[in-house]
Amino acid sequence: MERQTTLEVRNLNVYFKTAGGNRTQAVRNLSFQVGSGELLGIVGESGCGKSVSSLAIMGLLEFPAIAEADKICLMGTDISKNSREEMRKLRGSELSMIFQEPMTSLNPLFTIGAQLSDTIALHQECGKAEAKRRAVEMLEKVGIPRAEAVYKSYPNELSGGMRQRVMIAIALANSPKLLIADEPTTALDVTIQAQILELMRDLIQDSNTAILFITHDLGVIAEMADRVLVMYAGSIVEEADVMTLFHNCAHPYTQGLLDSTIKVHEIHDELRCIEGVVPSLRDMPSGCAFHPRCPYAQEDCRSQRPELRKTAEGHTVACLHPLRGRWDHD
Amino acid sequence: MGKKNAHKGANPPSGFRKYAGLLFRSQTGTIGFFILLMILIIAIFAPHIAPYDPTSVDLRGMRMPPFWMEGGSMEHILGCDNLGRDLWSRIIYGTRVSLLVGILSVLLAGAFGIVLGMVSGFYGSWIDSVIMRVTDAFFAIPRILMAMVVLMVAGSSVGVLILIIGGTSWVPFARMIRSEVLALKEKEFVKCSRSIGTKGTVILLRHILPNVMSSFIVLCTMNIAGNIISEAALSFLGVGIQPPTVSWGVMLAEGRKFLGTHWWIGTFPGIAITISVLGIMFLGNWLRDVLDPRNQGIK
Amino acid sequence: MGKYMRRRLLQVIPVLLIVTVVVFFMVHLSGDPTSMMLPQDATQEARENLREALGLNRPLHVQYWIFIKGLFQGDFGISHKYNAPALPIVLERIPASLELCAVSIVLSVVIAIPLGVWAARAHGTPFDSLVNALAVLGQAMPSFWIGIMLILLLGVKWTLLPVSGRGSMAQLIMPSVTLAIGTSAQIIPLVRSSMLEIVHEDYIRTARSKGLSERTVIYRHAFKNALVPVITMVALQIPALFGGALITETIFAWPGLGQLMVTGVTNHDMAIVQACILMITFITIVVNLCADMLYCLIDPRIRM
């Protein structure tokens, strides 16, 4: 199947306006593409700008955050210059988002059904009865038992896992072209996490929805992603397909992330971690943002900021001295 | 091996200087503080500030309007009332009663409320239920009504006034302190204390009391304003302060009779009440922002 | 809804009882009721006779028991001014007071909620500051002074409205506005801060991400959530409102319970005073229960 480019982002910059007319850069020159039916994972620690980028794409950023981009193309149409009203029309129908906290993401005073059918009725232009029917169908599709009863119940009557299923139902109800999932399983128990991931995999298998999956959990990336973007301090440091990333990564930060995950089958004497902390937005290091924590840092890393460069087909890295993998590519 | 902090600059101000700095950064806080200061000074030095004795009658000045109106003079800046008494002097002396009743009644209500609140919140179970039902009962009875009945039977003296206003305004204290205590009870340091067998009263006094202090102070301040209005209301209805003692409420009652002809008699005492209450509210709001438990940490 | 309301109803009964205790003992412990009923120069013997006639020489708890029994039988004592049982006199006045209070509450809600919501939407602008300033002023001005000033401006200087009595719509305006100003001044800041807080909640972000119109997001979602603490506040205002109504009724000669009570106090008519205070408190408790029911209807979490 010919893959279309669902989302193309070129040079997205997000910054915060601070007191005194200053700016703090949160995301720098973010560029990537996602094709239809593809799942792009975005990996990074807290504060690397992944959530802010997704909010920018959705048009949900609030003052004092400001987003600018050369282009953000959804199915070929540039939406970066859209008005608020135009973005509103896209949200829920072409663009959808799932958030991290299922416990607080649903309005406690409205029934599940009300919160699901209002988006259906809005974007599919159908009557209330029809919207209800489709809503119940959607609830069944996301694996919620006794969908009719759940339709009438309130969020506080459901567990976290169930609520996240509802959120998925809401997000996918109108068959969006792009779904952004911002750490959807982070707040859930591991067993529930597995269920939700499986659900998502099943749902997207048959549809052409492009998915932006944001997480800090490499295990989830390994399971779900086709390709991966690694972000650090507001920029992409590496982009590759998932196999290449795990077996042949090129950026020291990615290597550090991989090393610090605990592998059950290996025995370590001590936990490996990445020394230091993520720099604050206001206090960025000169040159490469990662160099203070990089075990391979060299002189030029301190002064020169690395650009994204291709090391192999479909594999780019922003490093002046990328790592050599277990097998070399030409 | 740690490096020593080599601050060469001045030490950050603590205690009084710190609060003074915080105060002047807040516009409303500063206004409130100065209003309150002004009222205190006026109340304390009333005999020296007031141009006339508040009960003395000036036959020439009877019903004289304020100085900016026709017929007024600078001798009686705000005019005179129907008996020829200087309004400005009466307002000055009125601050005494308002502050006295306001502050003392709040201290009474606060003491009572804080004890009930702490006991209720800390010991829980049936004590809590009983105290809470009593609180509900006192809350349901509108304060003015209760005060009126008691003043009717016991007579309208300043003492009774303070007692009854204090005795009916303790509910907010009890409720708020109780909820704070309930929250504190779950904190680790209290559980530790109990597990080593510390007596309840000791825990209450040593651990819980200091941590509810800031909210208590804020509530006290706000309640002074409310109680000043209560006193004025009761005096207005005729059951509070009795002449010849001067009270703003009494002045308002007198002014009401002469609204058509001498509007100033009923207007200025009301302005005095409003300004006083505003000042107290501003200061109370500032105190609340500054003493926010979230900024304090556990003591 | 059942479980919560049942619990509340059960709580109300002891509260009512305690109220009777409080009222009774406050009255009887404050002094000698008869001292106010007789002229100053009444003889000791006359006082004693009156005390005996009123049953005041019996032990307090016996008096209380008689008192309570009487309440259950609808006997609230005999008013010595009207020479008639107190209860019917009191009951007759209820509609007037209810009318005044109901109109005041409705008026204050109608003023306060839109103003609070607009101020929240206009956060940081001069309009917001203006609304805040007005709210603060409204809280600081004593309600009886507001009433007097309104009479001065609208009744005396410019004779726009009647200043006393009940009967026409025009007569209702000033007293209810007087009360409404104070109440709405309390409500406005709460509505405003509630809206400001709620707008940052996660579920509002979800609503926006669904593409709902800003109108729907604010006026359907955020507003409903903001209403919950507001209802609590309005319910808490009710005793204060009734207290304020007492003074307002006196100022505007509004023939309600409050005015009856004030004249009762002036006449030292114990039966009327007791009946008024018990009736007003009872109504307060009932209204609070209704507010709780409303709360229940809006917030499903409470029903659990």
Contact C212 A90 (CB under 8 A): no
d(CA A156, CA C301): 7
Task: Tell me what pLDDT residue B2 has.
Answer: 40
The share of chain A scoring above pLDDT 70, in percent, equals 95
Q: Which CATH number fits domain B25-54+61-291: 1.10.3720.10, 2.60.40.10, 3.30.70.360, 3.50.50.60?
A: 1.10.3720.10
Q: Which residues contact A78 (CB under 8 A, 6 or more apart)?
A: A71, A72
d(CA C11, CA B133): 7
Is the CB of A124 inside 8 Å of chain C's CB atoms? no
Contact A91 C208 (CB under 8 A): yes
More confident residue, A78 or A279: A78
Contact B141 C285 (CB under 8 A): no
The confidence band for C50, taking pLDDT boundaries of 50, 70 and 90, is confident
Radius of gyration in angstroms for the set of CA atoms belonging to chain A, rounded to a whole number:
21
Token pair of C108, please?
């204050």
Domain locations along chain C = 2-87, 94-303
- Set of chain C residues whose Cβ sits within 8 Å of the Cβ of A63: none
Interface test with B, best of C8, C13, C134, C144 (most B CBs within 10 A): C144
Which residues face A78 on adjacent strands? A73
Q: Which residues contact A93 (CB under 8 A, 6 or more apart)?
A: A123, A174, A176, C211
Contact B259 C152 (CB under 8 A): yes
The confidence band for A325, taking pLDDT boundaries of 50, 70 and 90, is low
Residue B273 CA, chain-centre distance (Å), reads 12
Q: Is the pLDDT of residue C278 over 90?
A: no
Token pair of C20, please?
């009777």
pLDDT digits (tens, 9 = 90+) for A24-37: 888 888 999 998 88
Interface test with C, best of A61, A89, A93, A107 (most C CBs within 10 A): A107
The confidence band for A18, taking pLDDT boundaries of 50, 70 and 90, is confident
Interface test with A, best of C198, C199, C206, C301 (most A CBs within 10 A): C206
Q: Is the pLDDT of residue A281 over 80?
A: no
* Successive 10-residue mean pLDDT values, chain B, 299 residues: 43 66 79 91 87 80 78 80 85 91 94 91 86 89 86 84 92 90 78 74 77 86 92 91 88 87 88 93 86 57
d(CA A163, CA A151): 12
Task: Tell me what pLDDT residue B166 has.
Answer: 93
Q: Which residues contact A254 (CB under 8 A, 6 or more apart)?
A: A230, A237, A238, A245
b/e for C233-242, b at 16 or more Cβ within 10 A?
bbbebbbbbb
Is the CB of B270 inside 8 Å of chain C's CB atoms? yes
The confidence band for A2, taking pLDDT boundaries of 50, 70 and 90, is low
Task: Tell me what pLDDT residue B230 has.
Answer: 92
Identify the weakest region by mean pLDDT among B197-201, C72-76, C146-150: B197-201
pLDDT digits (tens, 9 = 90+) for C98-141: 889 889 999 999 999 999 999 988 888 889 989 988 999 999 99
Helices (H), C122-162: 126-140, 143-150
Contact C18 B133 (CB under 8 A): yes
Identify the weakest region by mean pLDDT among A254-258, B17-21, C38-42: C38-42
- Set of chain C residues whose Cβ sits within 8 Å of the Cβ of B229: 142
- Set of chain A residues whose Cβ sits within 8 Å of the Cβ of C123: none
- Going by C-alpha positions, the residue among A12, A143, A145 that lies closest to residue A69 is A12
A314: left (phi > 0), else alpha (psi -120 to 50), else beta? left
Chain B / chain C CB contacts < 8 angstroms? 145
Q: Which residues contact C169 (CB under 8 A, 6 or more apart)?
A: none
Q: How far is CA B288 from CA B214, B220, B293, C203, in A?
A: 8, 11, 9, 29
The confidence band for A105, taking pLDDT boundaries of 50, 70 and 90, is very high
Amino acid found at C50 = L
By C-alpha distance, the chain C residue nearest A57 is C209
The confidence band for C37, taking pLDDT boundaries of 50, 70 and 90, is low
Domain locations along chain B = 25-54+61-291
Q: How far is CA C127 from CA A302, C114, C134, in A?
A: 51, 13, 11
b/e for B84-117, b at 16 or more Cβ within 10 A?
bbbbbbbbbbbbbbbbebbbbbbebbbebbbebb
Q: Is the pLDDT of residue A134 over 50?
A: yes
ipTM of the complex: 0.84
- Set of chain B residues whose Cβ sits within 8 Å of the Cβ of C242: 142, 145
Is the CB of A212 inside 8 Å of chain C's CB atoms? no
Q: Is the pLDDT of residue A87 over 80?
A: yes
Q: Is the pLDDT of residue C303 over 70?
A: no
By C-alpha distance, the chain C residue nearest A170 is C210
| Residues 171-210 in A contacting C (C-alpha not used; CB under 8 Å) | none
Shortest Cα–Cα distance, C145 to chain B (Å): 6
Token pair of B147, please?
């005060």
- Going by C-alpha positions, the residue among B231, B194, B219 that lies closest to residue B291 is B219
- Going by C-alpha positions, the residue among C48, C53, C52, C57 that lies closest to residue C28 is C57
Task: Tell me what pLDDT residue C214 has.
Answer: 87
Q: Is the pLDDT of residue A326 over 50?
A: no
Tell me whether chains C and A touch (3+ CB pairs under 8 A): yes
From first CA to last CA, the distance across chain C in angstroms is: 8
More confident residue, A45 or B2: A45
More confident residue, A149 or A327: A149
- The CATH code of domain C94-303 reads 1.10.3720.10
Task: Tell me what pLDDT residue A321 has.
Answer: 84
Is the CB of A117 inside 8 Å of chain C's CB atoms? no
Contact C156 B259 (CB under 8 A): yes
Instruction: Check if the beta carbon of residue C94 is closer than 8 Å to that of residue C101.
Output: no
**Neighbour tally for C188: CB within 10 Å:** 28
- Set of chain A residues whose Cβ sits within 8 Å of the Cβ of C210: 91-92, 118-119, 122, 170
- Nearest Cβ partner for A107 among C203, C209, C304: C203
Is the CB of B31 inside 8 Å of chain C's CB atoms? no
d(CA A293, CA A233): 12
Contact C304 A156 (CB under 8 A): yes
Tell me whether chains C and B touch (3+ CB pairs under 8 A): yes
- Set of chain A residues whose Cβ sits within 8 Å of the Cβ of C197: none
- Set of chain A residues whose Cβ sits within 8 Å of the Cβ of C203: 104-108
Contact C211 A89 (CB under 8 A): yes
Q: Is the pLDDT of residue C163 over 80?
A: no
